[in-house]
A and B are shown apart, each in its own frame.
Chain A
Amino acid sequence: MAYSPPNVYAHGDVPTAAGFNKYSDSLDAIYAMLLDARVNLFSKLIQDPNKTTIVHQKRWLHFRNPGTMQLVGGSADQTLELNATGNSHLDLHSVPWLAYGNLYQVSGCNFAMEHDRP
C-alpha cells in the first residue's frame, strides 16, 4: 500500500471507512519502509583532534570525559563545554541553540552518541 495522507476532519464531518482505511494503508506503507530490521551503530572512539559530527535527532547526548559541542558553522555562543568526568549524559533540551535536525560536532570526548534514553 502507498502512503496516503490522513484526512483532516472538521467538527461535524462523518468519518468513513475510506478515511479510516487511510490509517491502515499508511501504517502498512510505513512498515514497508522500515521492515523488521533494527540497526544500532557504534560510535568510534574519538581520537583528538578528530571530531564526531552528529545530526541532532534524539534527546540525550551520552559522552565520556570533558570536551565541547559546537553547532557546525555556529558562533562562539553556540559552543558548550562538556565538563563531566567519566561517563555522563546531557539533556539536549537544555541547550537553547540546538534544534532537532541541527548539525553539531563533539570534540575532546572519548566518545559521543545520542539516544532517546538517559
Chain B
Amino acid sequence: MARVNPPTFADGNILSAAKLNQLGADIAFLYGIARTPIAPFSGHVYTANGQIGDINPVTNVSMVWWGRHTERYLHYLFTIDSGGYSNTLRLVLSKVNADQSTTDFATIDLAGTPSAPAEFEDSVDLNSYSAHLSIDDFYMVRFTGAKSSGVSVCRYLFEANI
C-alpha cells in the first residue's frame, strides 16, 4: 500500500468511499513501516594505539561518529576490554558549522588514565547544550584519548527521546 494524502473532512461532508479508502490505505502503509525490523548499532572495536577521536586531520577517524540532532538524550557505552590510556579519556561533542569548521561544545571527562577493565555507560541531556545545538544541526560525537595498548570498544551510541 502506498501512502496517499489523508482526506480533510468538513461538517456536512458525505463520507465517500474514496475518502474512507484513503484513510485505510494510510493505516495499512503505517502498519508496514511499523513492521520494519530495527537495525542494531554495530559496535566499533578499536585495536590500534595512539590518539583516538582526532578529527585533525579528518582522515584519522577512529571513534568518531556523525549525527543530526533530533532527540533529547545521547546514550553511550564505551568499554576498555584490555590495555589502557596514558591520558584522560573524554567524550567530546563538536558542532559542524556552516563553514565546515567544528566547534567543541561539550567535553566530558570519563576517566583519567583508565585501564582495563573499564566501562563507561551514561546518557547526556542534549537540552543542556541548547545554546550550541539545535534540532537538525549536524554534530560529531567522538571519544578522545591517547590509547597506549589493548582493545577499546564503543558498544552503542544513539540519540533517543527517553
**Which A residues contact B (CB, under 8 angstroms)?**
3, 5-13, 15, 19, 23, 26-27, 29-30, 33-34, 36-48, 62, 64, 86-87, 110-111, 113, 115, 117
Contacts and interface: CB of A to CB of B under 8 A. Distances in A.
Contacts of A8: 21, 24
Given A40-B70, A87-B138, A23 B162 contact: no
Given A40-B70, A40-B71, A41-B41, A117 B15 contact: no
Contact of B17 (A13, A42, A45): A13
B66 A110 contact: yes
A92 B67 CA distance: 19
Contacts of A87: 96, 100, 138
B39 interface: yes
Contact of B66 (A11, A15, A42, A117): A42
Contact of B100 (A12, A27, A86): A86
19 contacts: A6-B23, A6-B25, A6-B28, A9-B20, A11-B16, A12-B17, A26-B27, A29-B31, A33-B35, A40-B70, A42-B141, A43-B66, A43-B67, A44-B66, A45-B66, A62-B138, A87-B138, A110-B58, A117-B136
A48 B61 CA distance: 10
A27 B35 CA distance: 13
Given A26-B28, A37-B161, 12 more contacts: A6-B21, A6-B24, A6-B28, A8-B24, A23-B24, A30-B27, A38-B71, A42-B159, A44-B61, A45-B140, A87-B100, A111-B66
Interface residues of B, number: 41
Interface string B37-73: 0110100100000000000001101101111101100
A33 B158 contact: no
A39 to B, nearest CB: 5
A3 B70 CA distance: 29
Contact of B27 (A13, A15, A27): A27
Contacts of B108: none
A115 B69 CA distance: 11
Contact of A41 (B17, B25, B39): B39
